[in-house]
Amino acid sequence: MGVGTRNLTIQLDEDLVREAKVLAAERGMSVSAMVAQELRDKLAARARRERARQVALESMGEAASSARRAPRWSREEIYER
């Protein structure tokens, strides 16, 4: 094991363990390495979603702020012919 790693004991159905071993072997890695990679991928995706959410919220706030500064027209002015 690498530096900073810890053991984690989990319980899984026998069929799931068997399939996980096959999948890991097909990928040329251990089940432990495969699970760690999948978790890293999930956590990275979550971080990207959160960052995108923050950017979107900031953009909406900026748009709302500029909309408040925009000129206001009355209904009559909008529909003047």
Mean pLDDT of 30-57: 96
Task: Give me the pLDDT at residue 61, please.
Answer: 83
Domain boundaries, the chain: 14-68
Residue 12 to residues 7, 15, 22, 48, 64, Cα–Cα distance (Å): 16, 8, 15, 29, 50
H helix intervals, the chain: 14-26, 31-69, 75-78
Bigger pLDDT: 40 or 1? 40
Task: Give me the pLDDT at residue 2, please.
Answer: 55
28 DSSP assignment: T
Task: Give me the pLDDT at residue 37, please.
Answer: 97
Bigger pLDDT: 59 or 65? 59
Q: What is the pTM of this model?
A: 0.67
